[in-house]
Amino acid sequence: MPKRSAARRAGWVLGLAALAIAPFAAPSLGGQAAPARDASPELGSAAAEFAAPPAASPGRAGAAGPRARDAAGPLVVGHRGASGHAPENTLAAAEAAADLGIAWVETDVQRTADGALILMHDTTLERTTDVEERYPGRAPWNVSDFTAAEIATLDAGSWFGAEFAGERVPTLGDWLAGLRSRGQSLLLELKSPELYPGIEAEVLAELERLGWLGGEPGERLVIQSFDAEAVRTVHALAPGVETGFIGAPDPADVAEYAEFADEINPRYRDLTAAYVAGIQAHTGPQGRPLKVYAWTIDDGPAAVAAAGLGVDGIISDVPDVVRDALAG
């Protein structure tokens, strides 16, 4: 778990209401570091388990929103869009998900040198753009070292395939507008928020500006992060927004996470039926059972196995493959 400062001050305005958040102390949650992303095919390797391990039955994909698992089975979420079909975190990837009938997509937000909110998974630009060719003297090509105008010149598609040449790095506003036009919903990750002080309030402001706040929590928006302090801050600033912590906390610490996180979203190799059920036995800040979304599952058998553990959602680069596997 990332260490948290003893006091933090933030302010947030929603519509005409002003909310001032005084400094608050965050308890230690066991000192567990969030796990690194990977796509391991293993299931059931969680080190610690809850008591009373009721197993769940496999279900079908297609739930309408990230609410608690029901007879419809796990919700399927496109990872960085449908990133197995189009370059990750681009408008093309979100459109590809829509074309596949995937209503929910995940993406990562960071901040440029001049304060713009853009979508990028890595904290550097070289893996998914042509930044090394365009700006050869500016290694290590940190997102935070480039302006929005400079990033807008980059090709974010050719690395994936020639048919995506010229695809650009979108702003958060561009992405939100596209999702709204297609009726899609958003699982938004604050990527490395420790690099971008105040990004929680800035993201919330952009979401409100474009009409994404309000309504039933979790119906079309969830904000998540590996950084527990960032999740806590989002909840403090906008209590009506559903939030998620990415990682696999020790069972003894889950009650404390449940004070500010509605979802606990581990990599799927960390899951057992007992661990999933133990998370779901806690009530989150919206007054509903905590949910568990597993990442990143890209093959049918692993998706069916994860569904059998009782997860509420599955995040996948190829969400169509997962959906079809769960449908039997």
The residues assigned a catalytic role are: 79, 121
- The first and second tokens of residue 241, run together, are 């927004």
Cβ-based neighbours of 197, under 8 Å, separated by 6 or more: none
Tell me the β-bridge partners of 78.
105, 316
- Classify residue 159 as exposed, middle or buried by CB count within 10 Å of its CB (0-12, 13-18, 19+): middle
- Classify residue 219 as exposed, middle or buried by CB count within 10 Å of its CB (0-12, 13-18, 19+): middle
Report yes or no: 170 and 119 within 8 Å, Cβ to Cβ. yes
Query: DSSP string spanning 161-221?
Result: -GGGTTPPPPBHHHHHHHHHHHT-EEEEEE-SGGGSTTHHHHHHHHHHHTT-S-SSTTSSE
Query: DSSP string spanning 259-292?
Result: TT-SEEE-BGGG--HHHHHHHHTSB-TTSSB-EE
- Classify residue 90 as exposed, middle or buried by CB count within 10 Å of its CB (0-12, 13-18, 19+): buried
Alpha helical stretches, state H, the chain: 91-99, 131-134, 148-151, 172-182, 199-209, 228-237, 254-257, 273-280, 300-308, 319-327
